[in-house]
Chain A
Amino acid sequence: MARLKRLDHVAVAVRELEEAAQAWERNLGLKVERVSQPAGSDVRLASLSAGNAFVELAQPLTSDHRLAAFMDEQGEGMFALSIEVDDLEAVVAELRGRGVQVSDPEPGVWEGTRMARVSRQSGHGVAIELLQRQ
């Protein structure tokens, strides 16, 4: 069976990246590893290390971004789990074989990554990203 390796990160939608990052750093001692706007994206990301996984804060830069729509509906908060896999194609094929709705693999926001999305409906309300790092 194709394997899910590990939790890569928990994605959190925020309106003010710096302010949110400071709270996580000050309260819990999570270190901000990097803040950047991936090329070609309209989102700013801050990755905070929690040892075995990251908390990734994401601030959308346009009002029609899907994260902006998420926050309009639910407010700021966790919106996705990103799970690292060894073989994205194999995992996607296997999940589809079990009736799970998964998008076609596409390049991820970070260079050298590819990802596919499991539908929120299949994931019991959780958006799950399957991530392969090269």
Chain B
Amino acid sequence: MIKKVHHVGIVVRSLEEAYRFYRDALGLPLHKEATVQEQGVKAALLTLGDCEIELLEPIDPEGGVARFLQRRGEGLHHICFETDDIEGELAALKERGVELIDQQPRRGLAGLICFLHPRAHRGVLVELAQPVE
């Protein structure tokens, strides 16, 4: 079951530049910053109430986020929902024939994560995440 919006992902050219708006002007506290090699990004989580804004800066020019930036420019990239049973969610989605990007959960910044294909939700890239301690 979906518990809440965990974060909204935004692709930016540079974390440092984007901090000037999201952290300094909007005043959102920076919660976490990390490099996620498998996704070819430097990522940052900023707290907004009980969810987060995730900023993504591409570091791998061949990666999906770099291609997104090239094609569409900076902007909204994905929405991530929190679940407490990502295996169960994935199994149910497969049974319903929903198009997936990840067939199995993998490690991401938000815990165990998986991405659904944007075609499944009319152009919206959806991520599911189960936070791990």
Contacts and interface: CB of A to CB of B under 8 A. Distances in A.
B66 to A, nearest CB: 15
B129 to A, nearest CB: 13
B126 interface: yes
Contacts, number: 112
Contacts of A107: none
Contact of B27 (A4, A26, A30): A4
B5 A7 contact: yes
A1 interface: yes
A75 B24 CA distance: 32
**Interface secondary structure of B, over-half rule:** mixed
Contact of A78 (B3, B18, B74, B76): B76
A3 B47 CA distance: 12
Contact of B48 (A7, A24, A78): A7
Contact of B122 (A6, A50, A76, A79): A76
A124 B25 contact: no
B120 A27 contact: yes
A12 interface: yes
Contacts of A79: 76
Interface string B116-128: 1010111110100
